[in-house]
Structure formats: structure tokens, C-alpha cells
Structure 1
Amino acid sequence: MELFGRHAEIAALDRLLNRAADGAGAGLMLWGEPGIGKTALLEHAVEAASDATVLRCRGTRMETGLAFAALHELLWPVLDRLETLAAPQAAALRGALGMSRDPANRFLIGAAVLSLVSGLARERPVLVVVDDAQWIDEATVQCLVFVARRVATEPVAVLLTGHEDPASGPWESVPALEVGGLADDDARRLVAAVLPEADPGRVDRTVRAAGGNPLALHELPTLDRETGGEAAHPPPGALAPVGPRLRRAFYVRAEGLKPSTRALLLLAAAEGRGDRHVVHRAGAGWGVDTSSWDEALRSGLLHASGVRLDFRHPLVPAAIYDGAPLPERQAAHRALAAALPPDATTERAWHLAAAADGPDEHVATLLEHAAEQCLRRSAAPIAARTLCRAAELSPEPADAARRLAAAARAAWDAGHAGAARQLLQDAERLGGVLPVVRLSGGLRGILEFTHGMPERAHRYLLCDMAVVPRTRRAVELGTVAVRAAWSAGRSDLQREALRRVRAVDTDDDSAVSGLMPVLRNWWSCYDETGDVTPTSADLTSDTVGRLGTAAWELLPPVPLVQVWGVDGGLIDVLSLQAAQLRRRHELTALALVLAQISVLDTAAGRWDAAALGAAEGLRLAEEVGAEHLAVQSRSALGMLAAARGEYRGVDEHTGRVLQVSVPRGVRAFTASAYWLRGRAALFDGRPQEALSDLRCLAEPGHEAAHRTFALLAAVDTVEAAAQVGSGDVVEAQVAMVEEWARRTGATWARTAGHRLRAIVERGPAAEESFRAALAVTGAGAHPFEYARTRLLYGEWLRRARRRADARSQLAAAADTFNRLGAEPLRARALREQALTDRRSAPHDTGPSTAAGLTAQELRVARLAADRLTNREIAAQLLISPRTVGHHLTNVYLKLGITNRAELARIDVDGDLRLDST
């Protein structure tokens, strides 16, 4: 097939196919108005990929609401390959394609399709072709987006077409190319090819009317001949776009057919799924006979293949349907509803809804039941749309409000928080606020919490606890209110929420009643007033485990769990929650849980898993438009970036976090961002800059002040303060950690208390504290922090001239940092190791103390004794190399020496270095 004037588009397609053939797979969306030539370009790509396996499907309007309909068409030719998949993936894909009753797990289905395509690509390149992607069902869209994002290293090309710019839709992550109209010269060449005998006047009229649209250039010349020139002669001054003119052009062709044939075409257009049997049964009462079928097929507008019906172009059914009077369209839908098999309840409800010309409670009820079936199949987006239509048809405002509230809940479950918020507002206008709170299960407070407005969420949640009908839901809302208050850094609001949770009467719900003592104990642990503390570590761990069977709303925030030192059992609980949320396809809640799992994985030294989980959580949060949840994933990614020395990533993530958290008053996230910036500066050898950020966490009234994060960050704050000589900060922070360790017995706090005490002590007491930190039972469960303790101990041992002991600690620390990818601290440990191997000069007498040196001179002398250059010393102490030289001059004068070689023989902390090497 010859293409006219499509050089740029063909070049783009060739690049896509060539890259795929070389193993660099990618996707491309061709978009533009109907008839602009997108399908012709697809056919060119298929012909060009003659050595590839081609999988293709086309979206249809009526199948938009049928989950995995397009996927079924796409994979039909390769269903025999299902046996090559892993059992869980094969089972999930069979369930999606209607081959079994296995539940439709969207993530497993996406993974299964990716595995299937990758398997095919190992034999030969694969071209996935999706025409009219704007009508592809949502479930297939999500699956194909999943695949398109993950074929970058596979010989796979994904090529799609659509009517609209995909920049703001589900295909936004796929590169796009707009297909525009043909230039006049190319349009004339196309008309001449379609109708060689056309005179110049007809060609000019066609080119003007078509506006560069190839479909119009194909059709208008022949229609001009068939209709006496009307089709190519728009009224004088008409500015109607090409689309409507083309629809009219197609309908003109249909108008030439007999009434029963037009009725058949209208039924086929309204049916939308291409089911020939249903259209045949519906047409029986409309006088549609064999001759009608013959005429429809001869017209070229309709094609039949077995039991499947297809129109020659998607514009044809749209033209026929839109051109029919409303009463005829309604009658067609009623006939189709009657012709459907008994089990097609969803399709019947939608046809009756399309036939309704006013409120109809019977049809609204059918739609509501259809939505319930969609929810059981985890098709929440379809359920939300179905319930919205049911609300439109509801005669009573109360019924409409109930259905809108249910639609909001379904939209929330599908991850569409913005749509859920709007539906709740619509429901409240019809039914009032409190009734909608009852109907939606207090969704408004949850939405505010996930949106990142903690104080407003707290207010809504406490109010709605008394309104929702189910005791369990009241408890869930109350616990989220506790979390919201904690996020806002408001201990007064937190205490109020705790009081309300404890006051819930659970006697009427045995399941909640059994869980309530666990919750009361658990949340009481987090009353930071000091009035209540955990009774035992075992009870607290048991509490975490028992919460694993409850809703995600009942789980506490992970940083708080870490502070109390009971995070060991939480990873299993959250993993179970994540699996359940995946199965139900609740993307918003899943993004939240993935971010929290990432934090725990980071602490446990599973950094690769943490990075993957946080990246997936960020992607999901951005897809559903939940900025607040995206911030949580960014915090997790920022923590990894700080430890790995990826300082540009730290700046990017913390900057985005602060943009969201500061205006909304989410102090927990603001504190997290300050902590991450402080850690990054500390690991990069910028202690003064680190301390500037870290001390804000404990500064009353500061936007980043938050008790939980001040505790977690104390180990960094003390190290930075010790390096710059801020003794007041050191003592306050050490006292805070030691008090927390005495109160809770948390492993991390006991370890940190010993480590921080070692930093501030001298002589044997320091070593005793270092050893105590390393000996705390369970300290090794957090390998990064354990290695940091070893690094500090190794540095202390080296300064004490105990080289063999220092090498042992430093080597172990460097090994852990290397395994984790913590490059800045690995480099620091290796540098310290190198210094332990340094052979010193012969023993020489000299000053035995550093008496008279200022604190800064002492720091400069220590670093110079370790053979750091002036520039390296300046970088560590945040001063200029010239200032370093000035301090060294004073050091030489005060110690009675003249150069660095002599300084290297002196223990500037007071003892003469006696080297035997």
C-alpha cells in the first residue's frame, strides 16, 4: 500500500522497528483525528516487520467496559503458549481471558503477558499493534502500559493509535507522535490515485473539503460522484471540522440502503461488541431478513467473519449511530437487551440504561447489581462508571446519593482519588454530609489523609467515627486519625484521637472486640506524654502480628514503629497487606504500603528490594495523582540516595517532598526531608551543613520539628555536632536517646546510646561504650548502622595506635558498606584502613601534649597528622585552605615543631606516638 507524504512518520516507525530488532524495545503512540491515516501507518509497520511475530487488537466502544476484552483478541493466536508460563501467571491470565474462574490479579496478569511476549521475543522480534486505543478496556490498557514500560531490553515494539494526545491519559508514559493532515500536493496525488478520472475541479474541491484527512480524500471523491457532488461541496462559508463531515459522508452512504438494512446497521453499531448472534436475534423483530444481511455486507460498510461482525472503519458505526434519531437508538438498545443471553447482566443493564429517556428505578437497580458484580471481579473503575449512570437514572435523591457514595468508594479503590472526591461532593449535595459519611464509610477523612491535609483529616475522621454504622470502621477511622495527628506533629490531637479509639464500644462486634485490646495496647504505646509504655517486647511484637489480618488503616506509621524498636514483625504484616491490596487492585493504599515496606527493607539492609518497592510505590502514586503518597516513596528513595552518595537524587527528592509537606503542614514529611539532607551532608564530609539541618528536628516551633524523627536522627546529629565541636547539642541529644532507651528498651536506642556515649567519652570509657554498642542483642539486624558503629570504633582504635584492632573493625565496616552500595562511608572506611597501614617515622622525642591548642587547631592538627592535604582538611572542616595553613602555623609554634613529619610523631590528644614499625 502506497503512503503519500508520510516520510517523517515512516522514519519514526523504521527507527522503532530497528531498535526493537536490536533488542532495545520501545513503544510509540500515533495519534490524530479519525481518518487521518493512523491505521495505514500501522499496516506499513506490519508489512515492514515481516520477520516479526505480530500480535494485534482493536478497541471497540461497546467493549470498553468489558475487562480484558482487547487482551483476549490480542493473545488469541498464542494461547497455546500459556503452558510455558509460571503456574501463578498462567492461572491469572486464564482467569482474565475467561478460560477459568481464577481471580483477576492485575499485577500477575501484567507479568504473565510480559513473560509471554518475552518468550516469543526470544525466537523472533515481536510487534504488538493496538488500533483505536482510546476504546480499549481499562484492564487491558493497564496491562499493556505495564508491558510497554518493561520491554526496553527486549526485541519488542509496541505500536498504538488513538484519537487524542496521550499526554494526560493512561498512555502518557508511551512516546507519542501526532499524525497530521497531508500537504495539498500529497493530497492531490492521493485523490488522483483513488479516482484517476477525476477532473481538476473535483480534485480541488475534494482537497479543500478534506483538510488533508486521507480517509476523506479516499471517500469524498466517490461520494461526490454518488450524491451529485454534495459530499465534496460544503455549504459556502462552512467551517465544520472534517470529523462531522466525514460522519455525514458515511451516513449518506447508509441512507441509500433499504430501511431494514439501515436497522441492521444501527443494531450492529449499538451492540458494539461484534456479536453476530445477538444482532441477528435483535433484528428479528425489526424485519431484518437475509436480504438485509446481504445488502449490508455488499455495501462494504459491514464485514462478517464467522460469528464476528466488524465495520470497515470505526467512523462508520459512529456515523450510523449518531445519525439515527434518538427514539430509534433507544429502540435498538431495548431490542439488544432482550436478545442478550440470561447471564449477560452487565451488558443488559447498560443497554437498558441507554434506552432510558428519564429516571428509571428498575434500570438503576439493574446497574447497581451489575456494579456489585464488577466489584466482585475487582473491576472497580467499571463499577464506578456503572454506579454513576445508576445515580443519573435514580428517581429519588436519596437513592442517587447512595449510588454516588458507592461510586466514590469504587473510584477510591481504583486509585482515582480526584474522581472520588468529586463524587462525594455530588452525593453530599443530594443527600447531605452525614448520610453520605455513613454510606461511604467515612471516605472523606481518608481522602484528606491520603491527600496530605492531616489536621483537616483528623477533624473529619473523629467526627465520622460517631456516624459510620460499623464498629470496625469506626475503629479504623480512629486509628487513621491518630496517624494524621502524628503526621502533623500535634501531640494534643494525637492524645484526643487515642482517647476516642479507646472509648469505642466493641461489644456488638466479636471480631473487633477480640482485636480491640491489641489496638488499645498498641496505640497506647505511642502516647508520647510518657503516661503509658509497652508492658513487654513480646506483647508488642504479638500486637504487630495480630494486626496483619486487619485493614491497612489499623497499622501505625513505620517511623513510629522503628522508634519503639518493634519493627521486626511489621515487614511480614505489610507484605501480607500488599498482597491483599494487589489482589483487590486498590492502587492508592498499595502505594502507601509499598513505601512503608521500603523503609523497613532499607533498615534491614535489603537496599535493592527497597529501591524497587519505593520506585513502584512512586509510580503508582503518580499514576493515581496522590502527591501525598508519592512523597512517602520519595522519602524512602531519598534515604537510599543519601547513604549511597547520590546527592543530586537527595536534592531532587527532598525538594519535591518539601513542596508538598510544608504548605500542607505534614511535619513528619518535612522532618524526614531535613533528616535526609542532614545525613547526605554528614556522609559527604560537611558536618556544619549537616548540623544546620539536623538540629531543626528538635527545635520547638520549627517547620521540621518532630519528636519521632528527632530521635531517629540523633545518631547523625551527635556525630555532626561532635565534628564541629558543638558540645551543648551533643549532650542534649545523647541524654534524649539514653532516656528513650531506658523507657522502651528498644534495641536501636540502646545501641545508639552506647555509640553516642563513645563519641563524647575519652580513653577506656569510650572503648567500653563502643564494645557495648556492638554487643547489644539484635544490633546486627540493622547492618548499615552496625557498620557505622564499627567505622567509628575503628577510627578510634586507629587514633589510639591499635592498628590491628582498627583494621579488623574497618575491614568489616567497609565490607558491609560495599555490599549495600554505601559509597561515601565505604571510601571513608578504606581511607582509614590505609592510614592504619602507614609506617611512621622512627621514634623521636618531642612535646608530649597538645596543651595550648584551640579546638579548631586541634582538629586541623589531627587531620594533618593523618597526612591529609590542606585542601582535604579544608573540605572536611568547611574552611579555606589558606585558613588551614594559618592554623598549622600556630600548631607548629605551640608544639615546637617545624613540619608535618614531626607532627606525625606526636599524639595531639596528649600521648607521644611510640611506633615499633
Structure 2
Amino acid sequence: MDLFGRRTETAALDGLLAQAAGGAGCGLVLWGEPGIGKSALLDYAVEAAAEATVLCCRGTRMEASLAFAALHELLWPVRDRLETLPAPQAAALRSALGMSGEPANRFLIGAAVLSLVAGLARDGPVLVVVDDAQWVDEETAQCLGFVARRVRTDSVALLVAAHEEPDAGPWEGLASMEIKGLADDDARRLVDAVTPDADESLRRRTVEIATGNPLALRELPTLNRDEVLPGAIPVGPRLRRAFCARADTLKPATRALLLLAAAEERGDRHLVQRAGAGWGVDASAWEEALRSGLLEASGAQVHFRHPLVRAALYDGAPFGERQAAHRALAASLPSNAVGERAWHLAAAADTADEHVAELLEQTAQACLQRDAGPTAARALQRAAELSPERADAARRLAMAARASWGAGNAGAAQRLLDDAERLVGEEAVVRLSAGLRGILEFSHGVVDRAHRYLIGDMAVVDGGRAAVELGAVAVRAAWSAGRTDLQQDALNRLLSLRADDDPDLSPVMPALQSWWACYDETGELTGSSPGGGGDTVGLLGVVPWALLPPTLLVWAWGAEGPLRDVLGLQVAALRRRQELPALAMALSQTTVLDLFSGRWDTAAAAADEALRLAEEVGADHVATQCRLSLARLAAGRGDRAVVLENTERALLGSIPRGVRALSASAYWIRGRAALFSGQPQEALHHLTPLHEPGHDAAHRTTALLAAVDTAEAAAQLDRLDVVGSELTVMDAWVRRTGATWARAAAHRLRALAGSDAEPHFRAALDAGAGDDPFELARTRLLYGEWLRRARRRADAREHLGAAAETFGRVGATLLRDRAVRELDLAGGAGTHQDAAGLTVQEFRVARLAADGLTNRQIAAQLLISHRTVGHHLSNVYLKLGVTSRAELARVDMSGDFHLRG
């Protein structure tokens, strides 16, 4: 049996069974809240006691008042053993089991059960299991408690599961163990096992609500989420039965108090007291409720021991009683508590009520001002349900969809839009929601369809700002699809909009025209260039995220510096407002900037955060972008498995939806991974499709940025025609933009083409690589290799050493090793020192020694004598400040040694 997170508990049970098998009888009470996993542990013990005689019974509320009902269940399978008992004991036990009409003698019955169990134990271990002991009839409980305290010399183990700690009563004196909730990691594993297809949002919410309760973890993910109000805790029948059973034993006034407390979600004890005054809730009811353990109080606050208790008691009450509770609470609120009164009246309403709907809408507006999007969406959805007029209902549903989208629930937003459209039609909902359907489609759907929606909706939405935002996203959707025709059409429509009356938008329109310049039929760019880009990017810092151009495009223009500042402001603002979809997109763009700037560790952290957010809000394309960022990082670090896994997932999501910008990135990253692994033919296989019209990976911006990789792979295969073609594209872009990275790339391509290589290598180094130290190091590596082949070893060592240092710092191990090999070829062992003062040969010896090789093994591998190895190791120890191989093994050989000339 697979029990997640129960190693301590199962070890205790194993020890108990072993102790009993050894002839030392014992008992143990497992206690904890309903659903916590006590029964599962009992099942584990039964399964583990395969060689034992197992006697089981379970208490039930219906039979709790029937004397010896549980004992009947326990002993009925072995009733034939009554004949082995002394006559008085046998007669008493027959009476308890209903096999005779003689009067019951409790002491003789206890003695008889002890004799019966002890007799069974002489044939082998006996395991007695009592589940739901809180419902076991008193006579059976007293009898088994009597037995448990007298089996210390018999091979008998008694296991009891109950809700409360056995500090008094029939189980007093037995060892006990509280069963607590699962840790979050174990809870997630259980959810994965129960519902392996659960998405991250469902998994996270289940773990959060269940707070480690295994029954809740099993039941919550299987419930129909469409039948649960947003923000509510769903409760299934098993949970309801488990928690309501205890409340049913309390007096009516106490149950009324519990229902009022369950309906009053804020835990206001004084409000519950005022509302309960008319229900007969007095001090004795409060005392019984607190004594039951279901309700707890602290000062002016009251709360349930577990959130599932509140949900189960509320859900288990008849609807009429819930209505009455909410009306009582609404009537007891102060006059200024408009929002709370609206919620209680809404919960009590069972027909349309415009007054309550208006109150809920006012509450939602206040929530939106406090950035409480989920609560606002919930209020608006309920307001729509209570709206007598279809138009009002549709308007409120559209508002709820906007609030849901802003709060990160794309699925709920789409469902709310669909509901609104069924009431008033598509066009009206486009206007009411400010074109949300196109935004949703762009986030996780087919980008061509998103473009179509957005273009059409620009003419429908009210207000110039909304139309400009939709137009900007439409241009971006076309760019993502690699459709320059659609991009130009969307740009023309966007530029035709008037934004003169909006001081934030009017100066931005020319900037948008510059960023989204398109290629015409001849392959030339139309429109003006943003040039250095600082002013135009800076303008975008005052507008919504939807107007920001994609990071790849900004990098291509060479304006990444200002964009980083803009994105930083956007991320901070979006975090503050909890606009999760927009935050996920902004973070994913920040990740790309960090990757292209050599801040790989920062990029990895940002990509992880953005991926979690994107998966949570259903922003599929943003999630794919994050996976591609992680894949790009893995390509640089030589982890082909991670590259393959993430690019495969990216292509599965992007190709069917026509997102060529993402498909192209996946092909580009695969090409880089192959190139860095020394497989130029495979690299060219992945990179060539970026230029092929009609291919799923054809994308002009990506092809431009990938030109240096394509040309390097082609040069290694002597495909100078491909190098020349890439150079032509790059030269045109340099003339167009003057971007630093493009000028450096053009010089590198000319050097790879083989004509007058050295001045172009030097020019590339002088130009830099924008803000990317990794690309600068690649230029140094290529130049160093060229110098080494030209037998200019001293010059080669300078550039190869610098390249190796950069590659080591960012973790690009494959390229670092390539640079180290070239260094070796450029000067031989023992002629170059790194930052730590080690020569190349000393570094080799140190790395092999750290891997555990002996001096003779190192000598055999390096073709030197073992005495020479010892000499090198002495130098290594001295330079690194270590004194043994054990200390040397703790040194990071991949990152602490950066060779230089």
C-alpha cells in the first residue's frame, strides 16, 4: 500500500506488529480529525499483518446505542471458538453476541473476550482493529479497553482509530499517536496520483484548501468545478458526512450557532452573537460548540478548527436554514457595511432581485479599486444571476470576465463571455468587455483567429484607448504568426485611429509605427526606423502592457537598454495590481532580455516564476515562451535533454495554433544546441527552415537574430553560399538600424566568409555584441581559433583564455571545454595560467584527482609519469589552499577555474 508522507506512522505500526509477534501485547490509539488518514493506516497494518489473525469492527452512529453491537461484528467470524472457553465465560459472551437470552455480566464478558483472544494468540499473532471508535457502543469500548490493558504477555496488538485524544474514557492508558496533515510536497504527490491530469491551478488550490487532509486531497480534484461558486470551498459527500456527523449530536441551538458561524465568513464573533439572539443561542450553546472542538474562539474572533469543517457544515445544512442564517446576519450588520450586507442578501436570494444585484455591483467596483479581482468577479457573477434584465446580466457577466482575466483566470473569463453572448450576442459583448475575446485568444489560442477578432473588434469597442490596445495586440498577433501581410494590415488600421484626445497615447502612435515596420514584397522594410530607440521605448513606459513590442523585436532594433527599464516599471506595477496574465507576459519578456545579456541565473529564476504564473492563469503562449527561455539556457550550458524536452512541448503547443514566432525559436534553440555540441550539419538542419516560406518555423525576426548561428554552422561545412546569404540580410539590417549587435554580427559573418578575416574579427570585437558577453566570447573563440590555425599562438591564447573565462562564468561548459582544448593546442601544457594560478596541465591533474583517480591512473591518462603527477598536485594544493584530495573534491571544477592567456 502506497501511503504518501507516512513513514513515521508506518514505522510505528511495523514496530507494534513486531512487538506483538514477539509475545509482548500492546495497544495504540491513532487519533485525528476526520479524513486525516487513520483508516488508511489501519488498512496498512492489516495488510502488513498477513500472518496474523485479524479481527475488525467499525463504530457507526446508528449502532452507537446498541450494547455490544461492535463486539458482535468483531467476534462473529470466530464465534466457533466460544466452545473453547470456560462455561461461565462462554455463556456470558453468548449473551453479549445475542446468541442467548441470559443477562449480560460485563466483567465475565470482558474476561471471555480476553480468554478468546489469548487462545487465538497461542496459534499465532492476533491483530484487533477498531475504526471510528468514537461511534463504538460504550459496552464494547469498555470491554476492549479491559482486554487491551491485559494482553502484555500475549501476541496481541490492538489498534484503535478515533477523532479525539484518548486522555480519558475506555482507551485511557493506551499509547496514542496524533495523525496530522500531509506536508505540501506529499499532498501534491497524492493529488497527482489521484488525478494525474490535474492542471497546476487545480493542484495548487487543492493543496491549499485541503491543508494536508488526505480525504480532501482525494475528493476535491474530482468535484465538478463548474458547480462551485468562485472563491467557495467545494465539499463532496464523503467530506460532508465526515464532518457533519459530529455536529448532528449537538443540541439544536448549538447547531444553529455553528451554521451562523459558517455563514459569517469573516469570523466576527459579535455579529454571530447578535444574529444568534433570535435563534435561542445562549451561553450553553457557545460552551457546547467550543467544547465539541469544531469551533474555536479568540477574543472577538471565531473560527472553525479546519476550513473544511466550515464548508461541510454550511454545505450540509438545508437551503432554507442557510437562507435564514444569512438574513439574520444581514439584519445584524451596521448600516455602513454595504458589501457584507450585499453578500448575505445575495446568499439568501432565490429569485431575481435588482436591488441586491446593484449592491453586489457596487461591492465589485470597490473590490476592483482595491485590486481584489477574484472577489469582484465573484460579486459580478452573482449579480448577473440576480439581474431581472438580460442586458444588465450580460453587462455584469462581461465585467466579471474582465475581472477574472485580470485576476489570472482565463478559463473563467472565457466561460463568462460565452454566458454573456448567449444573452445579448457577440457584438454587444465585445463592446461590454472591451474586446476581451481577442485578448484571450491571443493568450492561449490560434493567433490568426486572435488577429481576426482583434481587427474586427477595434471598430466595435467604445473609446480610442481600447481600440489602440486591441490594434497593437492585433499587430503583435500577426507578427507572432509570421504573417507580414496581416501585420501590415493591422498596423495600417492601428495608425488610422485617432488618439489626439489621449495625452498618453498621442505621442506613442509614431513610436508604434517605427517598431512595427513591416517588410514589403521586395523584402525591404517599410516605415521609419526607431533608430537608437531610447525615446520611443521610453514613451511606452506610460502605456498598458499591450502596447509593448516583443523583446526579440526590440533587441533586433538594438533598443534593449531602455526596454529593460520600462519592463521593470511594468513588472512592479503589475505585481502591485495583481494583474497576473500581464505580469506573466512582462516577466517572460524580462527573461529574454536577461538571457540575451548574459545574466543566465537571473533569467532562469525569472523564467521559472513566469512559467508558474502562466500555467496558473492559462496563458499558454507565455508558458511556451518561458519553456523556450529555459531551453535556450540549456542549449548554452550543453544540456541537450532539457533542450529536447522543452522544445518538444513548445512545438506541440505552437504549431497547431500557428504561433511561428515560438516555433521558430524552438528550431533556433535546437540549432544552437547542435552547433555548441559540434554538430554543424544537424544545426543547419534546424536553422534553415527559419527562412523557408510556408514552413511552421519561418519567421523573419527570428531568422535575423539566428543569422550568426546559421552562418557559423554553414562555415564549418564550407557552405559559403549560406554564409553570404546571411551576410546580405545582416548588412541590410545594419544599414536600417545601426544596432550594435548587428554591426558586430556582420563583421563576424564577414570573417567567417574568409575574406580578410582578421580586421573583421577585430571590428566585431570593437563593436561588442550589444549587452551580451556570451556572444562577445563566441567571437573571441572564433578569432582565437583562427589565430591558432595561423600559428599566432600568443595572440590566440589571449582571446581563447578570455573566451574560456566568460564561458566558465555563465556555465557554458561545452564552449568552455572547446576553448580550453584550443588553448592547449595553442601553447601546450604548462604554459598558461588561469585566474587561480593553475597551469593547464595542473588544471587537468586537479580535475582528475578531484574525480577520485589515483596518481598512477592520472599519469596513464595524461601520458606522464606518476612522479610528475605528484609534483603538479603539490602545486595545486599550494595554489588552491587545500591539503588533501577530499578538500579538492569539494572545489567546483566547472566554475572556479577560468583560463586566460
Give the TM bin, normalised by the shorter chain.
Answer: 0.5 to 0.7
**Structure 1 residues 336, 722: CA separation in 2 closer, same or farther (over 3 Å shift)?**
same
Deviation at 1:792, TM superposition (A): 1.0
Letter in 2 for 1:387: L
Residue in structure 1 matched with residue 152 of structure 2 by the alignment: none
Deviation at 1:644, TM superposition (A): 0.9
**Structure 1 residues 369, 791: CA separation in 2 closer, same or farther (over 3 Å shift)?**
same
1:537 aligns with 2:531: yes
Deviation at 1:290, TM superposition (A): 5.2
Residue in structure 2 matched with residue 419 of structure 1 by the alignment: 412
Residue in structure 2 matched with residue 218 of structure 1 by the alignment: 134
Letter in 1 for 2:763: A
Counterparts of 1:250 and 1:680, CA distance in 2:
62
Deviation at 1:646, TM superposition (A): 1.0
**Structure 1 residues 396, 182: CA separation in 2 closer, same or farther (over 3 Å shift)?**
farther
Residue in structure 2 matched with residue 547 of structure 1 by the alignment: 540
Alignment of 1:467-506 (within 5 A): 467-506=460-499
Counterparts of 1:602 and 1:350, CA distance in 2:
48
**Structure 1 residues 247, 272: CA separation in 2 closer, same or farther (over 3 Å shift)?**
same
1:797 aligns with 2:787: yes
Deviation at 1:510, TM superposition (A): 3.1
Residue-by-residue CA offset, 1:328-369 (whole Å, 9 max, x unaligned): 432221110121234543332221111112011111111122
Quick check: 265-274 or 367-376, which moved more?
Answer: 265-274
1:719 aligns with 2:709: no
Letter in 2 for 1:219: W
1:773 aligns with 2:739: no
1:201 aligns with 2:62: no
Letter in 1 for 2:432: L
Decide whether the 8 Å contact of 1:618 with 1:629 is kept in 2.
Answer: yes
Decide whether the 8 Å contact of 1:774 with 1:789 is kept in 2.
Answer: yes
Q: Secondary structure at the match of 1:354?
A: helix
Deviation at 1:307, TM superposition (A): 3.4
Alignment of 1:250-649 (within 5 A): 250=246, 252-254=248-250, 257=252, 263-289=256-282, 306-309=299-302, 321=314, 325-524=318-517, 530-535=524-529, 537-538=531-532, 540-649=533-642
Counterparts of 2:74 and 2:242, CA distance in 1:
12
Counterparts of 2:311 and 2:530, CA distance in 1:
69
Residue in structure 2 matched with residue 11 of structure 1 by the alignment: 7
Counterparts of 1:375 and 1:572, CA distance in 2:
27
Residue in structure 1 matched with residue 754 of structure 2 by the alignment: 761
Decide whether the 8 Å contact of 2:530 with 2:536 is kept in 1.
Answer: no
Deviation at 1:301, TM superposition (A): 6.9
Decide whether the 8 Å contact of 2:529 with 2:737 is kept in 1.
Answer: no
Counterparts of 2:7 and 2:820, CA distance in 1:
52
Counterparts of 1:315 and 1:445, CA distance in 2:
38
Decide whether the 8 Å contact of 2:59 with 2:135 is kept in 1.
Answer: no
**Structure 1 residues 387, 707: CA separation in 2 closer, same or farther (over 3 Å shift)?**
same
Q: Secondary structure at the match of 2:655?
A: helix
Decide whether the 8 Å contact of 1:182 with 1:213 is kept in 2.
Answer: no
Q: Secondary structure at the match of 1:341?
A: coil
Q: Secondary structure at the match of 2:709?
A: helix
Counterparts of 1:223 and 1:395, CA distance in 2:
60
Deviation at 1:298, TM superposition (A): 7.5
Letter in 2 for 1:799: R
Which residue, 666, 670, 673 being the options, matches 2:659? Answer: 666
Q: Secondary structure at the match of 2:465?
A: helix
**Structure 1 residues 446, 222: CA separation in 2 closer, same or farther (over 3 Å shift)?**
farther
Deviation at 1:525, TM superposition (A): 7.1
Counterparts of 2:302 and 2:770, CA distance in 1:
66
Letter in 1 for 2:730: V
Deviation at 1:804, TM superposition (A): 1.2
CA RMSD, 1 decimal: 3.8
1:819 aligns with 2:812: no
Q: Which runs of 5+ in 1 are unaligned?
A: 17-36, 43-130, 133-160, 164-176, 226-239, 840-917
Decide whether the 8 Å contact of 2:360 with 2:379 is kept in 1.
Answer: yes
Decide whether the 8 Å contact of 2:67 with 2:139 is kept in 1.
Answer: no
Q: Secondary structure at the match of 1:395?
A: coil
Counterparts of 1:436 and 1:39, CA distance in 2:
57
Q: Secondary structure at the match of 2:805?
A: helix
Decide whether the 8 Å contact of 2:239 with 2:312 is kept in 1.
Answer: no
Residue-by-residue CA offset, 1:165-221 (whole Å, 9 max, x unaligned): xxxxxxxxxxxx9778798999957859x999974434456999xxx9999541364
**Structure 1 residues 748, 527: CA separation in 2 closer, same or farther (over 3 Å shift)?**
farther
Deviation at 1:468, TM superposition (A): 1.4
Counterparts of 1:335 and 1:39, CA distance in 2:
40
Residue in structure 2 matched with residue 69 of structure 1 by the alignment: none
Deviation at 1:378, TM superposition (A): 2.4
Counterparts of 2:632 and 2:331, CA distance in 1:
60
Decide whether the 8 Å contact of 1:452 with 1:661 is kept in 2.
Answer: no
Residue in structure 1 matched with residue 735 of structure 2 by the alignment: 742
Identity of aligned residues (%): 58
Residue-by-residue CA offset, 1:80-116 (whole Å, 9 max, x unaligned): xxxxxxxxxxxxxxxxxxxxxxxxxxxxxxxxxxxxx
Q: Which runs of 5+ in 2 are unaligned?
A: 13-27, 47-52, 77-127, 142-235, 830-901
Letter in 2 for 1:588: P
Decide whether the 8 Å contact of 1:207 with 1:217 is kept in 2.
Answer: no
**Structure 1 residues 754, 322: CA separation in 2 closer, same or farther (over 3 Å shift)?**
closer
Decide whether the 8 Å contact of 1:564 with 1:746 is kept in 2.
Answer: yes
**Structure 1 residues 521, 305: CA separation in 2 closer, same or farther (over 3 Å shift)?**
closer
Deviation at 1:755, TM superposition (A): 0.8
Counterparts of 2:354 and 2:658, CA distance in 1:
45
1:698 aligns with 2:691: yes
Letter in 1 for 2:771: A
Decide whether the 8 Å contact of 2:540 with 2:547 is kept in 1.
Answer: yes
Residue-by-residue CA offset, 1:713-755 (whole Å, 9 max, x unaligned): 1111111111112232222112111122122222112111111
Counterparts of 2:506 and 2:302, CA distance in 1:
58
Deviation at 1:465, TM superposition (A): 0.9
Deviation at 1:326, TM superposition (A): 3.6
Decide whether the 8 Å contact of 2:587 with 2:606 is kept in 1.
Answer: yes
Residue-by-residue CA offset, 1:656-682 (whole Å, 9 max, x unaligned): 111111111111111111111111111
Residue-by-residue CA offset, 1:600-653 (whole Å, 9 max, x unaligned): 111111111111111111121222233221110011111111111111111111
Letter in 2 for 1:729: V
Quick check: 371-380 or 806-815, which moved more?
Answer: 371-380
Residue in structure 1 matched with residue 870 of structure 2 by the alignment: none
**Structure 1 residues 527, 828: CA separation in 2 closer, same or farther (over 3 Å shift)?**
same
Counterparts of 1:8 and 1:654, CA distance in 2:
32
**Structure 1 residues 830, 359: CA separation in 2 closer, same or farther (over 3 Å shift)?**
same
Q: Secondary structure at the match of 2:360?
A: helix
Decide whether the 8 Å contact of 1:349 with 1:367 is kept in 2.
Answer: yes
1:837 aligns with 2:833: no
Pairs aligned (count): 662
Counterparts of 1:246 and 1:582, CA distance in 2:
40
Structure-1-length-normalised TM-score: 0.66
Residue in structure 2 matched with residue 62 of structure 1 by the alignment: none
Decide whether the 8 Å contact of 2:397 with 2:419 is kept in 1.
Answer: yes
Decide whether the 8 Å contact of 1:534 with 1:744 is kept in 2.
Answer: no
Quick check: 275-284 or 7-16, which moved more?
Answer: 7-16
Deviation at 1:270, TM superposition (A): 2.8
Counterparts of 2:5 and 2:681, CA distance in 1:
56
Decide whether the 8 Å contact of 1:411 with 1:417 is kept in 2.
Answer: yes
Deviation at 1:315, TM superposition (A): 7.9
Residue in structure 1 matched with residue 227 of structure 2 by the alignment: none
Letter in 2 for 1:537: G
Decide whether the 8 Å contact of 2:444 with 2:618 is kept in 1.
Answer: no
